[in-house]
Amino acid sequence: MAAVDHAHGHEHGHDGHGHHPTGLMRWVTTTNHKDIGSMYLWFSFAMFMVGGAMSLVIRAELFQPGLQVVSPAFYNQMITLHALIMVFGAIMPAFVGFANWMIPLQIGAPDMAFARMNNWSFWILPVAGSMLVGSMFVPGGASGTGWTLYPPLSIQMGMGMDMAIFGVHLLGMSSIMGSINIITTILNLRAPGMTLMKMPMFCWTWLITAYLLIAVMPVLAGAVTMLLTDRHFGTTFFDAAGGGDPVLFQHIFWFFGHPEVYIIALPAFGVISEVIPAFSRKPIFGYTSMVYAIASIAIISFFVWAHHMYTTGIPLTGQLYFMYATMLIAVPTGVKVFNWVATMWRGELTFETPMLFALGFLFLFTLGGFSGLVLSVTAVDIMLQDTYYVVAHFHYVMVAGAVFSAYAGAYYWLPKWTGHMYDETLGKAHFWLTLFFFNLTFFVQHFLGLAGMPRRIPDYALQFAEFNKLSSIGAFGLGLSQLLFLYVVIKCIKGGKKAEANVWGAPGLEWTVPSPAPYHTFEEPPVVK
């Protein structure tokens, strides 16, 4: 089996660079997982900028009461695009980028299972992204429905809504293809001896995330397809006059939407589970229970969706069931938090930038988890639903959760990708600035929510003015701080101290190949003992 036919290997292997396209065409046609991973990461950061710029429009409008910067209709378009772009354009592709780069390296495979399709998964994204961004410029503008696209409001929208619908279809295709690729790679291309239970935790989280994606992206596609036919072909899925129900859309959307939040969270957990052991110089605590915890989170996540719909008027029994089920997710998530703490316990801790971001993640994600738990309690959620408390909750889990973890991963693996060390001082500065401004932006939003400020409004009553001002100042600080990251990355690519193969003294196959990782790795499988 393991015999490698060298004559064949030459045809497309390490010596085959000669007839490979160069320049732009190299990137357009590439089948190399590292190239594709880099493209994903760059795309994701670009989208983070675009989505972030939109959040700054939001925060600028909310800086003080009254309408100053944008019209209410445009404000609604901004929140919709901000959320769609951040979730589908920035966060998800960022972790797919990590998956592309790291999974083959971590399991000892030469590339992804379907390298050509991998390229296609990526190249659908710019098309989908342009559909979303482009919808701003058509008559009537982008969809002003919020990222949840609830009908009948979404039935009223103009052609920007159709662009969002097709954008979501495309994003779904990309995600499904990407996920099939990742699952197949993990299940089929592991090096001999790399059993499932020896796999790095990052691979485990992605295995399960990919499964979630394949299960729920088609459901979202179905939901928006029904929207499309309701809009243009006279069906009445979401129209009571024809026997349908607008709330049906919400059920289908959140059947996708809740697993989606774990699609965002799980790979983040995976990165953290790589970084914390590395800087504690200790193996991860409770590997097996970690795996079970991830699996339980994924399974439970299918059965809790209606906690987003407590105020729609679902019956009492339904509310109780969804409340209990939702609360249950705290248990496996708790296991993960405790295991991370135990990993650090009696370790040999150092605090380089990746570790700082991981610790920031741990603190803030747990806080966000707690506010989630508060929201899961129906009687309390009825007071807080659709207020800034919810906005605070999900930015804690998604920005301090997913974005922090993406930064932890980026700093952790940058030396492997570029062959250079990043600037530690600037990295640390980036961390502290981000931490401070993040909390300034979003911590105060808890108070706004408790005081009753609804979300998705461009203007607000006077008692909310002070906290909104702080939050807006925070947001601009947060945005500026991210430019520092861009600088650090470019500096690191351009040069810097040479990185050794195993920069952090961490275990794992990715650290056995030189830095930067050569264009082709593991053409013959390493043997894992």
Active site residues: 82, 111, 147, 174-175, 258, 260, 262, 273, 307-308, 333, 336, 455
State how far the Cα of 505 lies from the Cα of 121, in Å rounded to an integer: 34
Q: Quick one: how far is CA 62 from the chain centroid?
A: 26
Closer to another protein by CB, 496 or 507: give it.
Answer: 507
Quick one: tokens of 147? Answer: 């990222």
Closer to another protein by CB, 9 or 496: give it.
Answer: 9
Interface region with another protein, contact rule CB under 8 A, candidates 94-102, 153-161, 478-486, 507-515:
153-161
Environment class of 527 (CB within 10 Å of its CB; exposed 0-12, middle 13-18, buried 19+): exposed
State how far the Cα of 135 lies from the Cα of 438, in Å rounded to an integer: 29
Quote the least distance from Cβ 202 to Cu ion, whole Å.
24
Quick one: tokens of 243? Answer: 């026997």
286 within 8 A of 204, measured Cβ to Cβ: no
Of positions 460, 485, 504, 511, contacts another protein by CB under 8 A:
460
Residues numbered 168-207 forming contacts with Cu ion, rule: CB under 5 A: none
Q: Is 512 in the site for another protein (CB under 8 A)?
A: no
Give the CB-side neighbour count of residue 475, counting CA atoms within 13 A: 25
Q: Is 513 in the site for another protein (CB under 8 A)?
A: no
Closer to another protein by CB, 134 or 514: give it.
Answer: 134
Residues numbered 65-84 forming contacts with another protein, rule: CB under 8 A: 65-68, 71-73, 76
Residues numbered 381-440 forming contacts with ligand HEA, rule: CB under 6 A: 381, 385, 390-391, 393-395, 397-399, 401-403
Quick one: tokens of 391? Answer: 């906005």
Q: Is 307 in the site for ligand HEA (CB under 6 A)?
A: yes
Residue whose entry in the numeric block shows the structure tokens 């990355």: 489
Q: Give the x/- contact pattern for another protein in 407-436, rule: CB under 8 A.
A: ------------------------------
CA distances from 509 to 324, 501, 504, 514 (A): 41, 11, 13, 11
Q: Give the x/- contact pattern for ligand HEA in 271-290, rule: CB under 6 A.
A: --------------------
Among candidate residues 85, 408, 413, the one with its CA nearest the CA of residue 268: 408
Q: Is 60 in the site for ligand HEA (CB under 6 A)?
A: no
Q: Is 150 in the site for another protein (CB under 8 A)?
A: yes
Interface region with ligand HEA, contact rule CB under 6 A, candidates 35-43, 117-125, 198-206, 450-458:
450-458
State how far the Cα of 368 lies from the Cα of 371, in Å rounded to an integer: 5
Q: What is the DSSP letter of 526?
A: -
Cβ count near 380 (within 10 Å)? 15
Q: Is 113 in the site for another protein (CB under 8 A)?
A: yes
Quote the least distance from Cβ 388 to Cu ion, whole Å.
17
Omega of the bond leading into 516 within 30 degrees of 0 (cis): yes
* Sign, CA torsion 197/200/205/209: negative
Q: Is 333 in the site for ligand HEA (CB under 6 A)?
A: yes
Q: Give the x/- contact pattern for another protein in 337-376, rule: CB under 8 A.
A: xxx-xxxxxxxxxxx-------x--xx--xx--x--xx--
Interface region with Cu ion, contact rule CB under 5 A, candidates 90-98, 183-191, 257-265, 420-428:
257-265
**DSSP string over 444-492:** HHHHHHHTTPBSS-SS--GGGHHHHHHHHHHHHHHHHHHHHHHHHHHHH
234 touches, from Cu ion, another protein, ligand HEA, none (C-beta below 5 to 8 Å by class): another protein
**DSSP string over 56-83:** HHHHHHHTSSS--SS-HHHHHHHHHHHH
State how far the Cα of 486 lies from the Cα of 146, in Å rounded to an integer: 29
Closer to another protein by CB, 246 or 427: give it.
Answer: 246
188 within 8 A of 166, measured Cβ to Cβ: no
Q: Is 500 in the site for another protein (CB under 8 A)?
A: no
247 touches, from Cu ion, another protein, ligand HEA, none (C-beta below 5 to 8 Å by class): another protein
CA dihedral 341, 347, 349, 353 (to 10 degrees): -50
State how far the Cα of 335 lies from the Cα of 330, in Å rounded to an integer: 9
161 within 8 A of 193, measured Cβ to Cβ: no
460 within 8 A of 453, measured Cβ to Cβ: yes
Task: Report angle CA 115, 118, 121 to the nearest 5 degrees.
Answer: 160
318 touches, from Cu ion, ligand HEA, another protein, none (C-beta below 5 to 8 Å by class): none
Interface region with ligand HEA, contact rule CB under 6 A, candidates 25-33, 261-269, 286-294, 493-501:
261-269
Interface region with another protein, contact rule CB under 8 A, candidates 195-203, 261-269, 380-388, 406-414:
380-388
Of positions 258, 395, 430, 446, contacts Cu ion by CB under 5 A:
258
The binding site for ligand HEA (CB under 6 A) comprises 48-49, 52-53, 55-56, 58-59, 79-80, 82-83, 86-87, 91, 146-148, 261, 264-265, 307-308, 326, 329-330, 333-334, 337, 366, 369-370, 372-373, 375-376, 381, 385, 390-391, 393-395, 397-399, 401-403, 441, 455-457, 475-476, 478-480, 482-483
The binding site for Cu ion (CB under 5 A) comprises 258
